[in-house]
Amino acid sequence: MSELNTPFSDAELEELDSFLLSEACDDETLSVDEAHGFLTALVAAPLEVAPEEWARAIWGEPRFADTAQERRMNDLLQRLHNDIATTLQQGLPFEPLVVEVEEQGEVFEAYEGWCFGFMLGVSHNQDLWALLPKDEQALVAPMAQLALLESEEEEEPEMDEEEYSSWIELLPGAVVGLYSFWHSARGQEALAAGEGNALH
């Protein structure tokens, strides 16, 4: 197994997240759960996106301390992408990467950051995702609904715990379903039918 295909440890995820949230990166830089969601959307879709392009979308133009840090962080980001790709390509159980949040003394898992990142990935290839047939569009709904909770609008949508949990339960199957569609004969037909669009 090559180094870039080695599974992540919790310490490495924390290392990458710390860098993404550090002063070396701009305020618009995605956190590690958002980056995971973003990359998942790119991997699920059938178009290749160059590593330089998706890295720039995640962290802009980081100010690395030295070449060693630059290589280390690029390797970690590439491994995050490869881990998602391997999981989906091999049909392994998929789980969104989520962070733990403490609120009023209670610790819980927050999924909205991952979903926000996924929807950023959808918008990155908006013309492509517009080709998604109506039946498959429903698979995007869990990510779209939970991503709204990450909105910076003053009025956040109300969602009770039961509804929140029901959307969360749909996330793994939605990702697998989208990947399966886009990489099926039907998905290729939809892509071919939209080749006249300005896909990027």
pLDDT of residue 160: 86
pLDDT of residue 154: 45
pLDDT of residue 198: 45
Q: Residue-wise pLDDT tens for the chain (200 aa)?
A: 445 666 778 899 999 999 999 999 999 999 999 999 999 999 999 888 999 999 999 999 999 999 999 999 999 999 999 999 999 999 999 999 998 877 777 777 889 999 999 999 999 999 999 999 998 999 999 999 999 988 655 455 578 889 999 999 999 999 999 999 999 999 888 888 776 554 44
pLDDT of residue 132: 93
CB-based contacts of 3, cutoff 8 Å, min separation 6: 75, 79
Q: How far apart are the first and last CA of the chain?
A: 32
pLDDT of residue 41: 98
Q: Do residues 139 and 122 touch, judged by C-beta distance below 8 A?
A: no
Strands (E), the chain: 99-103, 106-110
61 backbone φψ class: left, alpha, beta (φ>0; ψ -120 to 50): beta
**Distance (Å, whole) CA 9 – CA 39:** 18
pLDDT of residue 1: 43
**Distance (Å, whole) CA 32 – CA 20:** 7
